[in-house]
Amino acid sequence: MTMKYNKTKEFDRDFKKLLKKFPSLVKDLEVTKRYRIELLHCKKIDNGSIFEICGVGNSEKLKFYKIKKFQCCSLKGRGAKSGIRIIYAFCPIVPEITFLEIYFKAKQEKENRKRLENFINSQS
């Protein structure tokens, strides 16, 4: 199964801001796609790094997930405990991932629920 990846404008904006502080993010995201996201959704292997977000329009057509264990090479010595979080929507029918938000936990405590709801509304 080949996974299709998209990203929202908001995700691009978040990513560019973090990229200034963490230059390895481009490579780190590619590694995460292959060894975290595709492992979970394509091969059904859960390595404990991705968690489903409950209570936000979850259905069989669209589910939301948070990557908590994101390895960032720019944050040496922290491994998967970098504090960077990625929020994405997964559509199993296509299969397709849409990145919605990326943030540094020290600056923002939780995902932006309004952004998730806006994404749900844009899909209908």
The token pair that represents 110 in the structure block: 């939780």
**Does the global pTM surpass 0.95?**
no
pLDDT tens per residue, range 109-123: 889 999 999 999 888
Q: Cα 87–99–117 angle (5° rounding)? A: 65
What average pLDDT score do residues 22-46 get?
94
CA distances for 21 relative to 17, 86, 102, angstroms:
7, 16, 13
Nearest-angstrom CA–CA distance, 79 and 77: 6
Tell me which CATH homologous superfamily contains domain 4-123.
Answer: RelE-like (3.30.2310.20)
Give Cβ neighbours of residue 118 (< 8 Å, ≥ 6 apart). none
DSSP for residue 33: I
